[in-house]
Amino acid sequence: MRASRYQPPPPAALFDTAKEISAAGLPLNVICQSYPDHRLKRLLETGTRRRCLFQPYLPQARGVDSPTLVIADNTAADGLFPVFDQVFTDMWERSTPL
C-alpha cells in the first residue's frame, strides 16, 4: 500500500478492545486529542491496564517519539514488540509518577 493512500485506523479501533495500553510520545496525542474521555474512563473501569509516559525525547536514539506505531503483543516472535516493550519498560522504571 502506498504511504500517500494509507489511512490510519480510527482511535476506537485501536483502543476499544485493548487489555493494555502502553503509550509514549506521539501516541499520547492520539489518546489525549482523538479518544473521548468517556470511552477512556470505560476502559479503565473495565480493567484495561494503561501506562503513559509524557514527552520522552529520543531515549537511546531509538525513535520512540516517531513514527507512531501500533504494535501487537507478539512476544513469541521476533519483531518490533520486544524492542518497544524493552525501551518502554526501561523508561517506565526510570519515570516519576504524576
pLDDT band at 88 (very low <50, low <70, confident <90, very high): confident
- Residues 6+ positions from 75 with CB-CB distance below 8 Å: 81, 82, 85
Q: Which residues pair with 24 in a beta bridge?
A: 53
Confidence of residue 86 (pLDDT cuts 50, 70, 90): confident
Q: 22-74: per-residue pLDDT in tens?
A: 887 777 888 888 899 999 999 999 999 988 877 755 455 555 545 555 666 66
Q: Is pLDDT above 90 for 98? A: no
pLDDT for the residue 47: 95
Q: Going by C-beta distance under 8 Å and a sequence separation of 6 or more, which residues neighbour residue 60?
A: 87, 90
Q: Which residue has the higher pLDDT, 7 or 50?
A: 50
Residue 82's pLDDT band, with cuts at 50, 70 and 90, is: confident
| Mean pLDDT, residues 67-95 | 74
Radius of gyration of the chain (CA): 14
